[in-house]
Amino acid sequence: MMIALACMALAGGLFAYVFFTRDEMDTTPEKTRLVYLRERKEVIYENLRDLNFEYKAGKFSEHDFDSSRGALEAEAAGVLAEIAQLERTPNPS
């Protein structure tokens, strides 16, 4: 009987935590598109560094390396172009 009561108390506590603490957790400020793009740029650059390292370590064939590098560089170019466009656009106050 005590085990069943303890399980019910635990389930009730978990239920309250999951469904009644949402408002407190949603206090992070929303990211702007520019902040997101700058973070994405850093991730792409890190991926390019990792790719280069792994290619030099012999984990990729030259074809796979060139293909992956081309895709990452194309994505980086798009991100950089959008960052430049957003930085040129005046912010409405």
pLDDT, one tens digit per residue, over 20-73 is 766 555 556 778 999 999 999 999 999 999 999 999 999 999 999 999 999 999
Domain-located, residue 66: yes
Domain-located, residue 24: yes
pLDDT of residue 24: 54
Q: Are the C-beta atoms of residues 40 and 79 closer than 8 Å to each other? A: yes
What pTM value is reported for the model?
Answer: 0.66
Torsion angle defined by CA atoms of residues 62, 68, 71 and 72, in that order, rounded to the nearest 10 degrees: -120
Domain-located, residue 93: no
Per the structure, the complete domain to which residue 53 belongs is given by 2-88
Domain-located, residue 34: yes
The total number of structural domains in the chain stands at 1
For tokens 């929303």, what's the residue?
30
Note the helical H segments in 21-61: 22-25, 33-56
pLDDT of residue 81: 97
Q: Helix, strand or coil for residue 93?
A: coil
Q: Are the C-beta atoms of residues 85 and 37 closer than 8 Å to each other? A: no
